[in-house]
Amino acid sequence: MQTVYTERHHLHTTDRVLLEGHPFTVEEVPARAEAILTAVQSAAWTAVIPPTDHGLDPILAVHDAEFVHFLRTVYAESALRWGEGPVFPWTFATRHTGRKPRSLAGLAGYYAFGFGSPILVGTWEAAYWSAQSALTAADLVQAGASVAYALCRPPGHHAAADLYGGFCYLNNAAIAARALQAGARGCRVAILDVDYHHGNGTQAIFYADPTVIYCSLHAHPDEDYPYYWGEADERGVGAGEGSNWNWPLPRSTDDAGYLAALDEALAVIRAFAPRFLVVSVGFDIMTGDEVGCFDVTAAGLEEIGRRVAALEIATVVVQEGGYVLERLGEYAVTFLRPLAERE
Ligand SMILES: [Zn+2]
């Protein structure tokens, strides 16, 4: 099994963010990817390779062109106008008229749905290469690999076509799914999201699309982020009606509760009979995670990996969240090993 990784994620230097001169905590830090890299490097069953550059086209197959232009240019424009420093929105276009603002400050709050995702000098380049890592993993699976792992950072599942937030700027899993379809004449793709949080961005991108089903297990929106999406009755719209599946779960969900919901999701995926599977994996489902509130154990995580592997569908695994630095490497190896052994 190959792992796709690039050190360019360090350009998104979220461990030293200042907000008006004061330290601003972002849990999503470079050390996360490094912890996972160290663990996969010492596993005999995976080799680490760099991403290849697919350009902007596969990103624009998912994201709005003006949104991408904003992400590419907003730091430099903000630095010219107000000096160097992270770009934070100060207002949000909540319940707005739908009119797109012209000002830089207005656009920041139009394209962001939350506060915790600063745009730094290297954020665009890091997000671009994170997406390229997912695309390279998709290439490997398309070329016949049974599984490939994109060690993406920043993560992606909260980013929609023209919305960023939740530490996510470009939706790596969605970009991989669209690339898999483009390479195989619009074949069916399933996305399984086993991050602690609902992947509101992925849901939004495929909400009207019957060719991609989205199945997500996550904290109930009444109890946790991202609060406004993730209810079980969000089932898709138009031609996509019935292709969106949410399993909102209570806090403290343990192995048994999680695996029961997972089995339902896997049954939906089996019935859909997709050509490819994309897994958004987040280790913030693990007990003791500082952001998540589930109680999944290492044995439970291994079983999740085993049951996903048992689908026997060619799989791109995309890294999303997970915040306990000391355990992330162990978790990645535990989840990935059953998939690697299948190969
Ligand atoms: Zn998460």
β-pairing, 22-23 vs 18-19, is antiparallel
Q: What's the gap in Å between 285 CA and the centre of ligand 1?
A: 8
User: What average pLDDT does the segment 237-263 reach?
Assistant: 98
Please tell me what DSSP assigns to residue 295.
Answer: B
Looking at residue 308, its pLDDT comes to: 98
Q: What are the phi and psi torsion angles at 71 (to 5°)?
A: -60, -35
Model confidence over 262-321: pLDDT tens digits?
999 999 999 999 999 999 999 999 999 999 999 999 999 999 999 999 999 999 999 999
- pLDDT tier, 261 (very low <50, low <70, confident <90, very high otherwise): very high
* Average pLDDT, rounded, for the chain: 97
Looking at residue 252, its pLDDT comes to: 98
User: What average pLDDT does the segment 210-220 reach?
Assistant: 98
Q: What's the gap in Å between 286 CA and the centre of ligand 1?
A: 11
* Percent of the chain with pLDDT strictly greater than 70: 100
Catalytic residue (choose from 9, 12, 63, 158): 158
Q: What's the gap in Å between 284 CA and the centre of ligand 1?
A: 6
Q: How many other CB atoms sit within 10 Å of the CB of residue 20?
A: 8
- pLDDT tier, 208 (very low <50, low <70, confident <90, very high otherwise): very high
* pLDDT for 186 beyond 90: no
Q: What's the gap in Å between 185 CA and the centre of ligand 1?
A: 32
- pLDDT tier, 185 (very low <50, low <70, confident <90, very high otherwise): confident
One-letter amino acid for residue 217 of the chain: L
Q: What's the gap in Å between 36 CA and the centre of ligand 1?
A: 16
Looking at residue 97, its pLDDT comes to: 87
Distance CA 177, CA 3 (A): 17
Distance CA 2, CA 8 (A): 18
CATH pick for 2-54+126-342 out of 2.40.30.200, 3.40.190.10, 1.10.3210.10, 3.40.800.20 = 3.40.800.20
The answer, as to whether pTM is greater than 0.95, is yes
Q: What's the gap in Å between 98 CA and the centre of ligand 1?
A: 28
295/342: higher pLDDT: 295
Q: Is 22 noted as a catalytic residue in this protein?
A: no
- pLDDT tier, 343 (very low <50, low <70, confident <90, very high otherwise): confident
User: What average pLDDT does the segment 155-163 reach?
Assistant: 98
The residue ranges of every structural domain in the chain are 2-54+126-342
Q: What's the gap in Å between 167 CA and the centre of ligand 1?
A: 9
Judge contact between 189 and 277, C-beta under 8 A. Answer: yes
* pLDDT for 74 beyond 90: yes
Instruction: Provide the strand spans (E) within 140-254.
Output: 147-150, 189-194, 212-219, 244-249
Model confidence over 139-148: pLDDT tens digits?
999 999 999 9
Q: What's the gap in Å between 221 CA and the centre of ligand 1?
A: 13
Reading the block at residue 231, the tokens are 């209810």
Looking at residue 216, its pLDDT comes to: 99
For residue 103, which of 116, 87, 114, 127 has the smallest C-alpha distance? Answer: 87
Q: What's the gap in Å between 82 CA and the centre of ligand 1?
A: 32
For residue 144, which of 298, 1, 243 has the smallest C-alpha distance? Answer: 1
Q: How many other CB atoms sit within 10 Å of the CB of residue 94?
A: 8
User: What average pLDDT does the segment 195-217 reach?
Assistant: 98
Q: What are the phi and psi torsion angles at 13 (to 5°)?
A: -85, 70
Q: What are the phi and psi torsion angles at 331 (to 5°)?
A: -65, -45
Cβ contacts of 268 within 8 Å, gap of 6 or more: 213, 215, 245
Looking at residue 95, its pLDDT comes to: 85
